[in-house]
Structure 1
Amino acid sequence: MSDKRDIEGVSTYEGPAGGWGALGAVAKALSGQMAIGRESLALRRMNQPEGFDCPGCAWPDPKHTSSFEFCENGAKAVSWEATGKRVRPEFFAANPVSSLWQLSDYALEGLGRLTHPLAYDAATDTYVAIEWDEAMRRIGAALNALPHPDAAEFYTSGRASNEAAFLYQVFVREFGSNNFPDCSNMCHEATSVGLPQSIGVGKGTVTLEDFDHCDALFCIGHNPGTNHPRMLATLREVSKRGVPIVAINPLPERGLERFTSPQDPVEMVAGRATPLASTYYKIKCGGDTAMLKGMMKWLLELDASDLSHGGKGLLDRAFIAEHTVGVEALIADLQATSWDAITAKSGLSRDEIIHLAEIYAKAERVIICYGMGITQHSHGTQNVHQLANLLLLRGNMGKPGAGICPLRGHSNVQGNRTVGITEKPDDNLVQGIEKAFGFTFPKKHGHDAVAAIRAIRDGQSKALICLGGNLAVAMSDPDATFAAMRKLDLAVHIATKLNRSHLILAKQSFILPCLGRTELDLQATGAQSVTVEDSMSMVHASEGSLEPASEHLRSEPWIVAHMAKATLPNTRVDWDGLVANYDRIREKIEVVYPAFANYNEQIRQPGGFRLFIGASERKWLTPDGKAHFLIGRGLDEDPLLNTEHLTLTTIRSHDQYNTTIYSLNDRYRGITGRRDVVFINAADLATYGLRHGDRIDVEVVGPTANRDDGQVRAVRGFTAVEYPIAQGTVAMYYPEGNGLVSLDSHDEQSGTPCYKSIPVALKASGARAA
Structure 2
Amino acid sequence: MSHSDKPDTPAGKISPYTHPAAGWDALRYVALNLVRERVAPGKYGTLLKQNQHDGFDCPGCAWPDREHSSTFEFCENGAKAVAAEATSKRVRADLFERYTVTELLAQSDYELEQHGRLTAPMRYDAASDKYLPVSWDDAFALIAQELNALDHPDQAAFYTSGRASNEAAFLYQVFARAFGTNNFPDCSNMCHEATSRGLPPVVGAGKGTVTLDDFEHADALFLFGQNPATNHPRMLDELRSCSLRGGTIVSINPLRERGLERFTSPQDAVAMLTGGSTPIASVFVQPSLGGDLALVKGIAKRLLEKDDAALAKGEHRLLDLDFIAQHTAYFDDFAADLRGESWADLVQESGVPQEQIWLLADIYAKSERVIATWGMGITQHKHAVATIQMLTNLMLMRGNIGRQGAGLCPVRGHSNVQGDRTVGIEEQPTPAFLDRMEQVFGFPQPRQHGHDVVATIAAMAEGRVKVFVGLGGNFAVATPDTPQTFAALRSCALTVHVTTKLNRSHLVHGRAALILPTLGRTEIDLQQGVAQGVTVEDSMSMVHVSYGRNQPASDELLSEVAIVSRMAEATLGGSNGNEPGQGRHGLRWRAWRDDYALIRDDIARVFDDFHDYNARIAVPGGFHLTVAPRQRIWHTPSGKAQFSVHALPKDTPITRARALHGERLLVMMTVRAHDQYNTTIYALDDRYRGVFGMRRVLFIHADDIAMLGMQAGDWVDVHSVWDDGVERRADGFMLVAYDIPRGSVGAYYPETNALVPLASVADGAGTPTFKSIPVLLVPGSMPANGGR
TM-score, normalised relative to structure 1: 0.97
Q: Once the two structures are superposed, what CA deviation does each residue of 1:606-658 show, in whole Å capped at 9, x if it has no partner?
A: 00000000000100111321111111232459553447421110000000110
Question: Would you say the 8 A contact 1:289–1:636 is kept in 2?
Answer: no
Q: Once the two structures are superposed, what CA deviation does each residue of 1:355-391 show, in whole Å capped at 9, x if it has no partner?
A: 0010000011100010001010111111110110110
Distance 1:85 1:452 in 2: 34
Q: In structure 2, do the counterparts of structure 1 residues 61 and 349 end up closer, same or farther at CA, with 3 Å as the change threshold?
A: same
Instruction: Tell whether 2:255 aligns with 1:251.
Output: yes
Q: In structure 2, do the counterparts of structure 1 residues 637 and 218 end up closer, same or farther at CA, with 3 Å as the change threshold?
A: farther
Instruction: Tell whether 2:764 aligns with 1:749.
Output: yes
The aligned residue for residue 759 of structure 1 is 774
Q: Of the candidates 593, 599, 624, which is equivalent to residue 610 of structure 1?
A: 624
The two structures, once aligned, show a CA RMSD in angstroms of 1.5
Distance 1:286 1:622 in 2: 28
Q: Once the two structures are superposed, what CA deviation does each residue of 1:74-107 show, in whole Å capped at 9, x if it has no partner?
A: 0000000110000001211121111111110111
Distance 2:191 2:285 in 1: 23
- Structure 1 letter corresponding to 2:729: A
1:389-428 to 2 correspondences below 5 Å:
389-428=393-432
Question: Would you say the 8 A contact 2:50–2:58 is kept in 1?
Answer: yes
The aligned residue for residue 89 of structure 1 is 93
Q: Of the candidates 686, 690, 702, which is equivalent to residue 670 of structure 1?
A: 690
SS of match in other structure, 2:443: coil
SS of match in other structure, 2:692: coil
Q: In structure 2, do the counterparts of structure 1 residues 637 and 234 end up closer, same or farther at CA, with 3 Å as the change threshold?
A: farther
SS of match in other structure, 2:515: strand
Question: Would you say the 8 A contact 2:68–2:620 is kept in 1?
Answer: no
SS of match in other structure, 2:634: coil
The aligned residue for residue 625 of structure 1 is 639
The aligned residue for residue 703 of structure 2 is 683
The aligned residue for residue 649 of structure 1 is 669
Distance 1:116 1:254 in 2: 42
- Structure 2 letter corresponding to 1:619: I
Distance 1:624 1:597 in 2: 28
Deviation at 1:702, TM superposition (A): 4.2
Question: Would you say the 8 A contact 1:39–1:83 is kept in 2?
Answer: no
The aligned residue for residue 584 of structure 2 is 571
Question: Would you say the 8 A contact 1:220–1:247 is kept in 2?
Answer: yes
Question: Would you say the 8 A contact 2:264–2:272 is kept in 1?
Answer: yes
- Structure 2 letter corresponding to 1:616: R
Instruction: Tell whether 2:209 aligns with 1:195.
Output: no
Q: Of the candidates 353, 356, 374, which is equivalent to residue 357 of structure 2?
A: 353
Distance 1:39 1:297 in 2: 55
- Structure 1 letter corresponding to 2:600: R
SS of match in other structure, 1:400: coil
Distance 1:737 1:221 in 2: 19
Deviation at 1:160, TM superposition (A): 0.2
- Structure 2 letter corresponding to 1:567: T
The aligned residue for residue 596 of structure 2 is 582
1:226-245 to 2 correspondences below 5 Å:
226-245=230-249
The aligned residue for residue 576 of structure 2 is none
1:588-603 to 2 correspondences below 5 Å:
588-603=602-617
Which sections of structure 1, spanning at least 5 residues, go unmatched? Answer: none
Distance 2:440 2:161 in 1: 25
Distance 1:125 1:142 in 2: 20
SS of match in other structure, 1:640: helix
The aligned residue for residue 3 of structure 2 is none
Which sections of structure 2, spanning at least 5 residues, go unmatched? Answer: 1-7, 574-582
- Structure 2 letter corresponding to 1:655: D
1:187-226 to 2 correspondences below 5 Å:
187-226=191-230
- Structure 2 letter corresponding to 1:424: Q
Distance 1:766 1:495 in 2: 36
SS of match in other structure, 1:633: coil
Instruction: Tell whether 2:681 aligns with 1:661.
Output: yes
Deviation at 1:765, TM superposition (A): 2.1
Question: Would you say the 8 A contact 2:722–2:757 is kept in 1?
Answer: no
Identity %: 53
Q: 114-123 or 620-629, which moves further after superposition?
A: 620-629
Q: Of the candidates 66, 76, 79, which is equivalent to residue 75 of structure 1?
A: 79
Question: Would you say the 8 A contact 1:379–1:638 is kept in 2?
Answer: no
Question: Would you say the 8 A contact 1:490–1:506 is kept in 2?
Answer: yes
Question: Would you say the 8 A contact 1:39–1:78 is kept in 2?
Answer: no
1:137-152 to 2 correspondences below 5 Å:
137-152=141-156
The aligned residue for residue 372 of structure 1 is 376
- Structure 1 letter corresponding to 2:766: G
Q: 597-606 or 85-94, which moves further after superposition?
A: 85-94
The aligned residue for residue 119 of structure 1 is 123
1:465-614 to 2 correspondences below 5 Å:
465-524=469-528, 526-569=530-573, 570-572=583-585, 573-614=587-628
Deviation at 1:36, TM superposition (A): 3.2
Deviation at 1:545, TM superposition (A): 1.7
Distance 1:673 1:107 in 2: 14
Q: Of the candidates 6, 10, 17, which is equivalent to residue 13 of structure 1?
A: 17
The aligned residue for residue 162 of structure 2 is 158
Distance 1:337 1:640 in 2: 21
Q: Of the candidates 47, 51, 56, which is equivalent to residue 52 of structure 1?
A: 56
TM-score, normalised relative to structure 2: 0.95
- Structure 1 letter corresponding to 2:19: G
- Structure 1 letter corresponding to 2:644: L
Q: In structure 2, do the counterparts of structure 1 residues 545 and 509 end up closer, same or farther at CA, with 3 Å as the change threshold?
A: same
Deviation at 1:722, TM superposition (A): 0.6
Deviation at 1:525, TM superposition (A): 5.7
Deviation at 1:128, TM superposition (A): 1.0
- Structure 2 letter corresponding to 1:313: R
Distance 1:147 1:127 in 2: 28
Q: In structure 2, do the counterparts of structure 1 residues 767 and 656 end up closer, same or farther at CA, with 3 Å as the change threshold?
A: closer
Deviation at 1:6, TM superposition (A): 11
